[in-house]
Amino acid sequence: MCGPKWRWATPGRPLPNLKKNLTEAKADNKALTQKVALLNDRDYLDKLIRAKYYYSKSNETIYSLPSDKTTDVSVK
């Protein structure tokens, strides 16, 4: 059984990799903030929904070709 992930730091003995963990958390936060901003963009969201879920506009037909490998609409 694994022990707790978090340990308390004492003044004489700081936690190892604390700065590394903080840097990683800040990078994750920045990436997630950017993703949220993209998802709040109406044009990006329309493009994402149309590409991922084959959602079409009225009177529009969508064809899925075998060469269409990408699922990420941000890749051009």
pLDDT above 90 coverage of the chain, percent: 29
User: pTM for this one?
Assistant: 0.53
From 49, 44, 32, select the one nearest 76 (Cα to Cα). Answer: 44
Residue type, 61: T
Token pair 């949220």 in the structure block, residue: 36
Q: For residue range 54-68, what is the model confidence (pLDDT) as tens digits?
A: 888 888 887 777 776
Q: What's the confidence (pLDDT) of residue 6? A: 65
User: Is residue 66 domain-resident?
Assistant: no
User: Is residue 48 domain-resident?
Assistant: yes
Q: Which residues pair with 10 in a beta bridge?
A: 13
From 68, 70, 73, select the one nearest 45 (Cα to Cα). Answer: 73
pLDDT band of residue 2 (cuts 50, 70, 90) is low
Q: Which residues pair with 13 in a beta bridge?
A: 10
User: Is residue 74 domain-resident?
Assistant: no
pLDDT band of residue 13 (cuts 50, 70, 90) is low
Number of structural domains, the chain? Answer: 1
Q: Which domain holds residue 31?
A: 18-53
Token pair 């079409």 in the structure block, residue: 56
